[in-house]
Amino acid sequence: MNDCNRRFNSKWLDEFQWLKKKHKQIKENGEILKHIGETVLYCGRQNIPLRGDYEASDTSFTKNPGNFIARLKLLSKHSSLLQKHLQAPAKKNATYISPQSQNELIDVIGHKIIRETILEEVRKTRWFSVMCDEATSHNAELMSLCVRFVDTNCQMREEFIDFIGTCRTTGRVLASKILQKLEELNLDVTKIRGQGYDGAAAMSSARVGVQGIIKQHSPRAIYTHCLSHALNLVYAHSAKQQEVRNMLDKLKESSVFFSKSPRREGPLKEIVGKNVPEHATNRKPLLDICATRWAARYDAFRHFYQCYVWQVMALEVIVYGSYINETDKYDGDIVNDDWDGRTKTAAGALLEAITKFGFIVTFLTVYEMLSPMQGLTVKLQGKAEDMVSAYDSVTDVKLHYETLRGDVEAVFHRIYEHSVRRRESLYAAQTRRDITIS
């Protein structure tokens, strides 16, 4: 009897030790997975890639392990458990840091947790809107699907749901893809109350477009052409004048001339530092002209306007080897005659173009007309913007332009006088330079 009890106690003790060890291992694995999952989530939120040149936790400083491994190594300095796992994992086939494991974690976090949480909130709402736009990636046609809804905290939200692959871009094909995806996500199509797309016929047509087909399933799903996109089209159609197009070309050429070459940027930085020392360190660089989003061009216009005089001086340094500053003193510290002929020719042509009176008056006119649009564009892109607020904002801007149109002669007289003063100051500086050089 005693032998039986001893054997029973020994067996029970062994099982207890085994369960205790297993429970400890499960707890440690959970802690390790927590660090790994948080790292994946961190990279996603910061919009930075996970992979590097060499995927290994023992990577030396001569190789780039990528953001994922690098952050894990940083966290391991404060976690002995994670450090032990990275240096000597209990099972070499269960490190959970391989590219395959990273992809699996991305799928779990993105689709099984984040997206499912969003969808559950959408299902709890009474109604929602769908927004779609097309994009091309790696020679594949994709369509992004977003939902707009008011959550249980009465907050307006816009959330990305998924990319939808499509081989054709007709209205019927796109609509069927959207409906199929909504059904897969268990979202009630009849609860759609809004549709937001661009103005392409495949999306906006009431008969064969996406909005018309969606309305067959949800008649109250009102289609709204993206207001910011419509405003962008107004910009584009209003800028077909040849003078405006020529001005934009020179603006883009000036940005590329300086920003694409650190050596050409050098004289511009030195001139700004000598004339405006307080702006030398925080001067914003010239911006390229956005090809599609006209609203984004306002920032490029503003940077060009603020730096216009210094650009002219920098171009004079490249072309002539000197400039005359505003105090009428010759400054030869930044002279550099070691410029190749091609650069001097390009700088000379650009200098002549941006100092012409026609360029100046066209630039100032467009800059003046774009100014009221900047605030409106930002508002129309706001996630919490509703139709009433958007309508009021558009109305205010329209009233502003109607006021300008009613007093158009005074407005353009002011722009003309500003252009004359700007050109006269440049002409005086060029004359002083020519006299000094001669």
The tens digit of pLDDT for each residue in 275-328 reads 666 555 555 556 555 555 565 667 778 888 888 888 888 888 888 776 555 444
Which tokens is 211 given?
């909005």
- Nearest-CA neighbor of 196 among 149, 163, 148? 148
The tens digit of pLDDT for each residue in 351-387 reads 889 888 999 999 888 888 877 777 777 777 777 777 7
| Pairwise CA distance, residues 370 & 327, whole Å | 33
What's the pTM?
A: 0.61
- Nearest-CA neighbor of 187 among 86, 115, 259, 286? 115
For 100-116, b where at least 16 C-beta lie within 10 A, e where not — what string? eebeebeeebeeeeebe
The tens digit of pLDDT for each residue in 30-71 reads 888 888 888 888 888 888 888 776 665 554 555 677 888 888
Query: Does position 400 have pLDDT exceeding 70, yes or no?
Result: yes
> Is the CB of residue 70 less than 8 Å from the CB of residue 99?
no
- Nearest-CA neighbor of 397 among 225, 197, 194, 235? 235
